[in-house]
Structure 1
Amino acid sequence: MRSSYSLHIFLLASIVSISAWSGMHPHDRLTWYLEVMPVFIGLLVLCFTYQRFRLTDLAYQLIWLHAVVLLVGGHYTYAEMPLFNWLRDTYTLDRNYYDRLGHFFQGFVPAIIAREILLRNSPLNKGKWLIFIVICICLAISAFYELIEWRVAVASGEAAVAFLATQGDVWDTQWDMFLALTGAITSLLVMSRWHDRQLEVFLHKKP
């Protein structure tokens, strides 16, 4: 477990460093607070539960990756991420697609976290019901986030434009939830066997 502990320390230290960079002169300070708040809340939860309910290395690595996506989006805003601006201009795309990537990860990463929690703390076994419930959880998370965006937009008006990142698309909310659904399904298809192997090793070596 020593190698896992070293990995976790590295992930924590690097995400703190990236958070510091993200908060330095962001494109829009209000948007930064709104976008990175889930990272800080998640970090606190993971730190407080580390000894009582430690996750697999795969789960922590995916959480780290999702946090980086949020921190980069918070720094530039999702509509102005430079690499995706370049892709938009180079390939004559209709928008900056970084927010689409963010919502894909909003399904991809929670799918593995929900799968791990359910397998370790519920009567559910691997199978169709586990897949169905994990996908439902991911869709619920996506819908809840869209409700938060709605309330923020109502409360702050024009100040929430960068947070919403609709870029003029009237179907942006539906696209966001569809991409979260796609991310969850993709995660379960691609990562489940790897996750199963890590769970098996982790549960046998758990101190």
Structure 2
Amino acid sequence: MEIAPTLIVLPTLWVYRQRWTITPLLVILIGWHGLVLMLGGAYTYARVPFGFALQDWLRLTRNPYDRFGHLMQGFVPAIAFREMLIRGGGLRRGWMLRGLVLACALTVSAAYELIEFGAAMALGQGADEFLGTQGDPWDTQWDMLCCLTGAVLALMLLSRLHDRLLDRLP
């Protein structure tokens, strides 16, 4: 399940590569996000070794890799939505674009949380292992906050670079 987005996005990018050129920044971010998802899927998010190292280093009570995954769930789609809305939607750069990008990123996060909810209902007792909540009753809310934080960070840190790269596209 965790690699499903990668298995959807990569073939789609391959099929449309001639018709829809994307910025090198977005290509790199999609690749990076794919690696984050695959690593989380290989170990389950609660058991990624890097997360345990980070947990020890920061003296946290839980493996934070899940939070990092949700941060990426906002960071990368924010740039993807920004690119789609500017190029395909004809939106000008400004507050409306930023607001729509944040809304789109949160929509992805909410949809993912609903998928997790459905899986939890179907799995019953096995849901804790699948969800990786690590005993946190607020895990869903933290996941969406991490997504929003990632989207805000992406807009703050990458918008200018993204604009320059968008201006170079045909």
TM-score (norm 2): 0.96
Deviation at 1:163, TM superposition (A): 2.6
Shift of 1:43: 1.2
Number of the residue aligned with 1:100: 67
Distance in structure 2 (CA, Å) of the matches to 1:192 and 1:162: 37
Q: Which residue pairs with 1:141 in the alignment?
A: 108
**What does 1:1-207 align with in structure 2 at a 5 Å threshold?**
34-203=1-170
Where relative contact order (Cα < 8 A, 6+ residues apart) is larger, the structure is 2
Question: What is the CA RMSD across the aligned residues, in angstroms?
Answer: 1.1
Size of the aligned set, in residue pairs, is 170
Distance 1:160 1:41 in 2: 24
Shift of 1:91: 4.1
Q: Is contact 1:35–1:163 with CA below 8 Å preserved after alignment?
A: no
In structure 1, what is the Cα distance between the partners aligned to 2:145 and 2:49? Answer: 24
CA contact 2:74–2:149 (8 Å) conserved in 1? yes
CA distance in 2, matches of 1:81, 1:174: 21
Q: What is the percent sequence identity of the aligned residues?
A: 48
SS in 1 for 2:2: helix
Does the CA contact (< 8 Å) of 2:62 and 2:134 recur in 1?
yes
- Distance between the aligned counterparts of 1:202 and 1:158, measured in 2? 50
Give the conservation status (yes or no) of the 8 Å contact 2:21–2:169.
Answer: no
Structure 1 position 161, deviation (Å): 2.4
Unaligned runs of 5+ in 1: 1-33
Contact 1:66 / 1:109 at 8 angstroms: preserved in 2? yes
Cα distance between partner residues in 1 of 2:45 and 2:103:
26
**Conserved? CA contact 1:104–1:180, under 8 Å:** yes
Structure 2 runs not aligned, ≥5 long? none
Report which stretch shifted further, 194-203 or 82-91. 82-91
Read off the aligned partner of 1:167 and give its amino acid letter.
Q
Aligned AA (2:73): Q
Supply the distance in 1 between the matched residues of 2:132 and 2:26 (Cα, whole angstroms): 28
Counterpart of 1:31? none
Instruction: Flag the structure with larger Rg.
Output: 1
In structure 2, the residue matched to 1:17 is none
